[in-house]
Structure 1
Amino acid sequence: MNKPVPLLCACLLGVGTLMSSLPVLSKDAAVAATDIHVSPQLQAAVASSSRTPANVVRDAYRHPAQTLAFFGLQPQQTVIEITPGGGWYAEILAPYLRESGQYVAAVVDPTALPAGGGRDYQQRSRDGLAKKFAEAPALFDRATEVAYNPAAPVLGKPGSADVVLTFRNVHNWRSSNQAEGLFRAFFDVLKPGGVLGVVEHRAKADVPADDKSGYVGQAQVIAMAEAAGFKLDASSEVNANPRDTKDHPNGVWTLPPSNNHDAADAAKYKAIGESDRMTLRFVKV
């Protein structure tokens, strides 16, 4: 795990099979949470006792079973998760894909960054994920890693992935002028008919690229994906939170789980919960 690992071959779904797993929808169709079917195999992965208990608590806000089902996830697919962080979703995805598919963790290559805090942060993140994988081989022994340069990202061989997933990352890419290149990299690595699944903190409206709130306008995310060649297939409100007023003193980090607020306001922000989030499914056509 100390060096980029090439994407491994796996049993892949054909394009027709991939597309048939998704409901037929009109452009910009919204899918109700009650209309999302979660397979027993996916539900079992989410309900597994191998998951970190503190991570399970956040299911109430992240809705992993419904979110992954909405993205059309199948156990035979090659799935690339962009910057998995501490491995919250990896705990579900790697075991779910272990037998028939392939889980790929796409991490920032620290050596591609200038010396300093940014490089150190990415190295700690990469090392932490590698440690997590090494300590639980029964879950992660078949997971692979690809390290990318955020200034010129390459996530694997063109057309090699069925699904690319990103959770709450777009605001960081916009503020560092990396979003355009990353969305192009997503498009390039996906096979025709492949799915890009995006979950992101949702602003009330468009925000400047240098906005520090952590929120992004939904129309802005759609525009970035479409500029890279994707078509918006559907949206879901499964991760919506109408209690989030989005006007917090420390942006999205005011809310759980960061809780960057005065101790006196703990009850207020606990009552709000985690951020309001868009959930968007794009297709490479």
Structure 2
Amino acid sequence: MDPEVEVEHVLTIACPERTGIVHAVTGLLLKEGRDIVELKQFGDHRAGQFFMRVGVAGPEAEGLTERMRSDFGALAADYQMDWTLTPKGTKKRVLIMVSKFDHCLNDLLHRARLGELPIEVLAVVSNHTDHQGLAEWHNVPFFHVPVTADTKPAAEARLLELIGKFDVELVVLARYMQVLSDELSRQLTGKTINIHHSFLPSFKGAKPYHQAWDRGVKTVGATAHYVNAELDEGPIISQQVQDVDHTYSPEDLVAAGRDTECKALSNAVKWHCEGRVFLYNNRTVVLR
């Protein structure tokens, strides 16, 4: 390979906090002949945890990624690190779920098509058939998986089958209006992002914009969060807000909220897939 060609990698680290972590990591990268092009870190003294994301660059070489992973392994073990090392731009394998509202689905597919998101959308799953044409226009397979109270276990089994078939790394609930079972939520912990059409923790559950209107809010927003077994209680990744006033009807609030939903969700997906989001306990650290 041409030694003048440079390649970039992204290193992410989460570990117990202790002295010397940054020195040890940067020292090893220097030994590997890597230049640091980005470095973000955060030490949570209360929790005793340390988080770090490093962008590194250097000459291409045969087997470079695997060699770097092997060399970093001993250091990672010494510091009890949960870590990843991936070539920059590696696309995550994504499955999107949607119900009747299509704005978030359309936004994600469009951004993926333009290369704004480091994702490969492998499938769209819906409990309705409304958006089959949109998915197929983007050359993405569409799967109709209807859900009723009686068929919910079978529907979730079908979803897991599709996740396995496409080797999915991230599930995105783009206004999917079915509540996942506790068991499925546990299986997908840390691998499923939901957009809630409200500014959590306020106005959870059904019709949050109508709840907001009843309270006379002056700001509406949207919250993208990881899914867990508690409805709308998962760790928050991204939020967007928009100012409103007393002249807005509930329908106006719904319309105003669409843009915030799209932006909050696309940010969450982007940051997750770029290795910027660290999940611990019921919180996230986002290094960006």
Specify the TM-score bucket, using the shorter chain as the normaliser.
0.3 to 0.5
Look at both structures and tell me which one has the larger radius of gyration over its CA atoms. Answer: 2
- Please give the TM-score of this superposition, normalised by the length of structure 1: 0.41
Comparing both structures, which one devotes a greater share of its residues to helix? 1
